[in-house]
Amino acid sequence: MHRLAPLGFVIAFLAGCGASQPPVAPIGDQHSAIVRDAGHLQSWMLPEAKNEDLAYVANVYTITAYSYPKGKLVGTLKNFYVPYGECVDANGDVYITDSKFGKIYEYAHGGTKPIKTLKDTSYQPYGCAVDPATGDLAVANYSDNSAREGNVYVYRKAKGFPKSYIGYGFYYYYYLGYDPKGNLYVDGLDYGGFDYKFGVLPKGGGAIDDVLLPEQIAAPGGIEWDGQYLAVGGGAEIYQFSFSGSKATLEGTTPLSGAGLEVGQFGIADSTVVTPNQFFSGSAVLVYPYPGGGAPTQTITKGVFYPFAAVVSPARGQRSSVGNPASTHPL
């Protein structure tokens, strides 16, 4: 079941010489963000950050890090252009995709310099996901700078040259998420950016199979395994689905009161979810009960500017409940 994307979403896609582009912040607002962050000219991180669970937020030009769940700003990573996507591996390392630079950077938890850089210069990398069992890194390539459709790259053990996968009817690829069996779920839009697409790359498969979700979703949102179900963002809600092959069953819904029209990549930790309030003035990152949802219990604004993604990285060497929330999923 599909419906047209919201008007603002479609306008963003149709802007600029007929080529579909992800929305970015206005130039004047970008300049204001740079001025506000002028106190630190280089990437920085407080020493305490390595020993805390951290929420990493992808903003225009920067990645900001916060102690989680306290929400204290403990660091800022720089030298990005448009970092659209984030994901976390089993060690707590954070991968960041930069759409304009065509690169994927890996940062150690609490680190200030990349420990690895992968190239993806032929496309515009957007969302990413790491298979916790194999360490494979999947990247959703939104599109390239011409009229060519996007794809999904999978870097074996997050190294070397990737293998490419496509799905029937997909043109723009946005977000991805693995389940514990190694199946990779992907969302996006069709050619023209009007019809929502969802699919699965089965473990060991050669192509992305189409999946019809039993819920109308207007625009692509983040995807993450929540410990029991696959959580998929859409509108101001997160949906929980179970799957049998290509058949999806809606198991629950998390309403996000006060969130924007599109839920970007979110991060689930224990009984909370942290999500960017995408593309709104007065930018903020919101924290909600999970899976109950409702009104946000916390609003993070310091250092946040047009956030695209938010993920939670566990402290190294410490037991973390990231990605393993409470098991109750009310319908």
Q: Residue 2: pLDDT above 70?
A: no
pTM assigned to the model? 0.86
Q: pLDDT band at 40, cuts 50/70/90?
A: low
Of 2.160.10.10, 2.40.128.50, 2.120.10.30, 1.10.10.520, the CATH number of 7-313 is 2.120.10.30
Instruction: Tell me the pLDDT tens digit for each residue of 205-240.
Output: 999 999 999 998 988 999 999 999 999 999 889 999
66-80, 103-117, 163-177, 306-320: least confident range: 306-320
22-26, 145-149, 167-171, 243-247: least confident range: 22-26
Contact 165, 206 (CB under 8 A): yes
Contacting residues for 52 by C-beta, under 8 A, at least 6 apart: 67, 68, 74, 110, 315
Q: Residue 8: pLDDT above 50?
A: no
Q: pLDDT band at 147, cuts 50/70/90?
A: low
Q: Cα separation of 50 and 272, whole Å?
A: 21
Query: What percent of the chain lies above the pLDDT cut of 70?
Result: 80
Q: Cα separation of 271 and 326, whole Å?
A: 5
Task: Write down the pLDDT at residue 288.
Answer: 97
Q: Residue 306: pLDDT above 80?
A: yes
Radius of gyration over every alpha carbon of the chain, rounded to an integer in angstroms: 18
Mean of pLDDT values over 171-191: 96
Task: Write down the pLDDT at residue 235.
Answer: 84
Percent helix, strand, coil in the chain (nearest 5)? 10, 40, 50
Task: Write down the pLDDT at residue 97.
Answer: 97
Task: Write down the pLDDT at residue 312.
Answer: 97
Task: Write down the pLDDT at residue 279.
Answer: 55
Contacting residues for 76 by C-beta, under 8 A, at least 6 apart: 37, 40, 43, 44, 62, 63, 64, 65, 303
On average, the pLDDT of the chain sits at: 84
Q: Residue 30: pLDDT above 60?
A: no
Mean of pLDDT values over 136-156: 88
Torsional sign, CA 164, 190, 83, 46: negative
Task: State both tokens at 224.
Answer: 């993450």
Q: Cα separation of 93 and 1, whole Å?
A: 36
Task: Write down the pLDDT at residue 90.
Answer: 93
Task: Write down the pLDDT at residue 246.
Answer: 80
Q: Residue 102: pLDDT above 60?
A: yes
Write out the DSSP string of 78-90: ---S---EEEE-T
Residue type, 130: V
Contact 210, 167 (CB under 8 A): yes
Task: Write down the pLDDT at residue 258.
Answer: 86
Q: pLDDT band at 145, cuts 50/70/90?
A: low
The Cα angle at residue 313 between residues 87 and 63, in degrees rounded to 5: 65
Within 13 A of 175's CA, how many CA atoms are on the CB side?
27
